[in-house]
Structure 1
Amino acid sequence: MFAYVDETGNTGSKLLDPNQPLFITGALLTRSDFDKRFALDVAEIARACGADELHAADLGLGRLEGIAPDLLKIIRCAGPTFALSRVEKVYVIATKMFDTIFDSYENKAVPWHVYNVPPLRMMMVFKLASILDDAVAVAFWDALMDVNADRAHYKMAEVCRRLVGRVTDVPDKRSQEVLGQALEWASENPESLEFVYSDKAGRKGHLPNMIGFGNLLDAIEERSAIWKRPVEVIRHDRQNEFKDAIKFWHKIYSNAREEAVMLPMGGKMVLRKVFGSELLMSSSSESAGIQIIDVIIWLFSRAQKEEIPDNCQSLLNYVYSRAHHSDFSFANASEFTSRMFDAMEREVTDEQMSLSAKTLSEIEQRRLDAMAEYKAKKEDA
C-alpha cells in the first residue's frame, strides 16, 4: 500500500500563535500507486482552473468548490482510506511539561502511580494545565529547546519555581501536595530531568509535527493490517525544516522491536510501525497524491473555524466516512479519561482496600528512599 502525507498549521517552536492553534496532518492511503494511476487526471483538473498544480491555499474556497465534484470522482475511483490527525498546540505544551517534569523515574518526588497509571496521569495533566499561563508556557518551551544543558536546566528550574507558588490554586489538597513536592524537587535537582538534545532532530521531536506524524504512522499501520498489505512507500510533502526529523523518527519506528511493550493496568504497546516502508520526501508538483491530501487537510482546517461550501463539504464528508481519526486535545483527553474512570467503577472489597493501602504505602516508601538516595549521591559527588 501507499501513503501520501501533508500537513498544515506549522508554526515551529512558536506554539502559542493565536491564529494557528492547531497542527493538522493528513494522509491519503491507497492499495496501489495513486500517482501512477491518477497523475494525468489531477493535472487536467488543475489546468481547468488555471493552475499548474492543486494547491488549496492558492486556489481558495471559490475555485475548490467548482472542482470538488471532479476530485471526488477521482478519489472514489481510487478506493482509498484516509488518516486525519488534529493536534491542539496548548495541549502539547501541557502534556510535554508533565512528561518532562513529572516522570517518576527522573523526578524522585513523584509517586510511581501518579505518572504511570493513565487515568491518574491524565487527571494531573489537567490540574497542572490549570496553573499555566502563556508566560510560563513560553519559558518552559524555551528551556525545552535550549541546546546547552546547564542553561536549559537552569531555565527549567526557574519554571518550576514559578509554578510552585501557584499550586494552592489547584482545588484539592492531595494534588497540591503532589504537584508542589514534585516541582520543588525538580527546581532543586533540574539536572535529573533528561530533556536536552544537542541535535536538531531530537529537539524537533518535541514539536506537534512529530506527534502528528506518529499518529499517522499508527493509522497507516492499522490500515496495512486491515488490507493485509505491507506499506511500500510513504510519500511526504517536502519539508526542508523538518525533513531530517521526519526521516529520523520514521527510521526509529520502522526499525523498532516487534515485540509488544507491556504497560501498567494490563495495556500493551507495539513500537514498530510501517516496517519495511520507504519514506520519500517529494514536492507536491511531483505527486498527485500529495496534491489531493493538501486539498483535504486545507478544507479540514477551514471546517474547524467556519462553514464551507456544499461541494467541498461533500468531499470532506466522504473523507470523514473513510478516515482514521486522531485528536490530541484537551477535549478528547477529557472524554478518554472519563471513560477510563467509568470503566474502573466497581464495588471494592475490604481485602482490595487493604491491598491498595499496602501498595500505596510501599510506593511512598520507595519514593522517600529514592529521594534520600539521590540526595546522598549528589552530596558525595
Structure 2
Amino acid sequence: MYFYVDESGHTGTNLFDENQPILYYGVLSSRVNIDVLAENTLSSLRKRLGVKRLHANELGNAGIAQISTEIYNLQKRYDLRFDIYRVAKADHALISFFDQVFDQGLNPAITWSGYWTPMRYVLLLKLAYLFDEETLKKAWSARIEINDQKAESGLVEVCNIIKGRVGELPDERSRTLIYDTLNWADNNPAEIYYNAKRKKDMLSITPNLIGFQSVMHGITLRLLKNGKKASQITVDQQSQFNKAQKTLAEFYASARDVPMVTGPGLPEISFKGMPTIPISFKAGTESAGLELVDVYLWIFKRLMEEKELAPKIYPIIQKQMHKSRTDEISIHAIASRWQKWFEDLPEPTEEQMKKGRELMALDEKRRLEGMTVSAQQGVPADAEKRRG
C-alpha cells in the first residue's frame, strides 16, 4: 500500500497560537502508486486553474469546487482512503505536565493506581480544572526550557500556583493525591526530569511528534486490516520535524516484535505490524499524492471546524464517511472516551470490594513510605492544612 502524509496547523513549540489551536495530520492511502497514476489528471487540473500546484489554501472553496468532480473520480477509481488525526495543542501541554509530574516511577507521592490504571484519567481531568491558560503557558515554557535551573524554577512556580487551587476540588481523596504529588515535585524538582535537555528532545515532545505517533499507528491498522505491506510512505518535506519523524518511524519498526506492558485497564501499546520500509520525504511539488492529501486535509479540516464548504465538494466527503479513520488527543476526547468506560463497569461483588480495599491500603502504605524521605527534607508543616 501507498501512504501520503501532510499536516496543517504547524506552530512548532508555540502551542498557544489562538489562530491555530489544533494540529492536523492527514493520511491518504491507496493500493496503487498515486504519484504515478494520478499525475496526468492533476497536470490537466493545474493547467485549467493556471497554477503550478494544487494548494488548497490558495484555491479555496471556488477553486476546489471547480475540480471536485475529477477529485471524486480519482477517489473512486483508485479507492482512496483518507484518515485524519488531531492534537489540541494547549491540552497537549497539560497532558505533558501530568505525564511527567505524576509519573509514579519518578514521584512517590502518587499512588501506583493513580498513574498505571484508568484512574489516571480521573486525576488528569481534575487537574485540568485547576489550570488556566496563563499557568498552562508557564508549565509548557518550563517543559521546553533547556536550562535545568530555569526549568526547575518554572516547575516549582506552577506547582505552587496549582497547590493553591486544590481546595476547589470537591472530593478529599483527589485533593490529597494531587496536592501531595505537586508538593513532592515542588520540593524535588530535579527528580522529576521535567524539561527537555536538548533541542532534539524538545522536538520529540511537540504535538507534531505526538500526532505522528497516531499517523504511524493508523497506517499500521490499515495494513493489518488489508493484509498488505507498505510499499511507500511519503511525508511532506519540511526542515524542522522530518528527522524526528524518521527516527520515530525507525524506532517503531525496530520495536514491532517487542511486547509492551501497561497497567490494568489501560489501552494496549503494540507495535505489531509497524511498517519496516523507510519513510521518504518529498516536496509537495514532487508528489501527486501529497498534492491530493493537501486538498483532502483542507476539506476535512473545514468540515470539522464547521466552516463553509461549496456544495460540489460534499460528494468527496460522503464517499469517505464510512471508510475514514480519525483520532484526537484532547481533554474532551479523553473525557468522552473514559466516561463511557467507567459507566460500563459492572457492579463489583462483595469479595471484589474487599480485595479492592486491601489493594488500596497497600498502595497508600507504599505512597506514604515513599514520601517519608520528603518529610525528612523539610516538607512544610502546614502541608495538610493547605490541601483543602
Q: Normalised by the size of structure 2, how large is the TM-score?
A: 0.92
Q: 1:272 to 1:145 in 2, by over 3 A?
A: farther
SS at match of 1:85: strand
Deviation at 1:108? 1.0
For the 8 Å contact 1:231–1:274, the answer to whether it is kept is: no
Could you tell me which residue of structure 2 aligns to residue 59 of structure 1? Answer: 59
Q: Does the aligned pair in 1 maintain the 2:6–2:293 contact within 8 Å?
A: yes
In structure 2, what is the Cα distance between the partners aligned to 1:185 and 1:23? 33
Matches within 5 A, 1:98-113: 98-113=98-113
Q: Matches of residues 123-142 of structure 1 in structure 2 within 5 Å?
A: 123-142=122-141
Q: Distance in 1 between matches of 2:170 and 2:127?
A: 11
Letter matched to residue 162 of structure 2: L
1:312 alignment partner AA: I
In the TM superposition, what are the counterparts of 1:256-295 in structure 2 within 5 Å? 256-265=255-264, 268-271=268-271, 274-295=274-295
Distance apart, 1:104 and its partner CA = 1.0
Question: Please, what TM-score do these two structures have when normalized by structure 1?
Answer: 0.94
- Aligned structure 1 segments of 4 or more residues deviating by more than 3 angstroms: 373-378
Structure 1, 105-114 or 40-49: larger mean CA deviation: 40-49
Query: Structure 2: which amino acid aligns with 1:320?
Result: M
The answer to whether the Cα contact below 8 Å between 1:146 and 1:152 also exists between their aligned partners in 2 is yes
Identify the residue that residue 305 of structure 1 maps to in structure 2: 306
How big is the shift at 1:344? 1.5
Match of residue 329 from structure 2: 328
Mark the CA change 1:150 to 1:271 in structure 2 (over 3 Å): closer, same or farther. farther
Q: In the aligned structure 2, how far is the partner of 1:102 from the partner of 1:93? A: 14
Kept in 2, the 8 Å contact 1:253–1:273? The answer is no
* Amino acid aligned to 2:151: A
Report the 3-state secondary structure (helix = DSSP H, G, I; strand = E; otherwise coil) of the residue aligned with 1:198.
coil
Pairwise CA distance, 1:373:
4.9
The answer to whether structure 1 residue 163 and structure 2 residue 151 are counterparts is no
Q: Size of the alignment, in residue pairs?
A: 377
**1: CA distance between counterparts of 2:299 and 2:54?**
13
Q: Runs of 5+ in structure 1 lacking a partner? A: none
Aligned to 1:232: 231
CA contact (8 A) 1:2 1:233 kept: yes
Of 51-60 and 144-153, more deviation after overlay is shown by 144-153
Alpha-carbon distance change, 228 to 259 in structure 1, aligned in 2, over 3 angstroms: same
| TM superposition shift of 1:305 | 3.4
Q: Is the 8 A contact 2:250 2:278 kept in 1?
A: no
Structure 2: how far apart are the matches of 1:351 and 1:259? 36
Structure-2 separation of matches of 1:350 and 1:323: 44
The unaligned stretches of length 5 or more in structure 2 are: 379-388
Determine if contact 1:117/1:264 at 8 Å carries over to the other structure: yes
Amino acid at match of 1:161: N
CA displacement, residues 291-345 of structure 1 (integer Å, 9 cap, x when unaligned): 1110111122222131311122221222333211112223321221112102213
Tell me the CA shift for residue 248 of structure 1: 1.8
Aligned to 2:150: 151
1:72 to partner: Cα distance: 1.0
CA separation in 1, counterparts of 2:351 and 2:66? 68
Alignment match, 2:315: 314
Shift of 1:69: 1.3
Report if the CA contact (8 A) 1:201-1:248 is conserved: no
Supply the distance in 1 between the matched residues of 2:115 and 2:83 (Cα, whole angstroms): 30
Rounded to whole Å, the distance in 2 between the matches of 1:173 and 1:364 is 14
Question: Which letter maps to 1:261?
Answer: M
AA partner of residue 334 (structure 1): A
Q: Distance in 2 between matches of 1:321 and 1:51?
A: 32
- The residue type paired with residue 326 of structure 1 is D
What is the 5 A alignment of 1:38-117? 38-117=38-117
Correspondence 1:209-248 to 2 at 5 A: 209-248=208-247
Equivalent residue letter for 1:218 = H
Retained in 2: the 8 A contact 1:30–1:80?
Answer: yes
For residues 185 and 279 of structure 2, what CA distance do their matches in structure 1 show?
39
Q: Which moved more, 1:30-39 or 1:259-268?
A: 259-268
1:345 aligned counterpart, secondary structure: coil
C-alpha distance after superposition, 1:84-128 (max 9, x if no partner): 10221222122111101111111110011111112x111111111
**Cα offset, 1:350, TM superposition:** 2.4
Match of 1:189 in 2: 188
CA distance 1:305–1:212, shift in 2 (3 Å) = same
Secondary structure at 2:145 match in 1:
coil
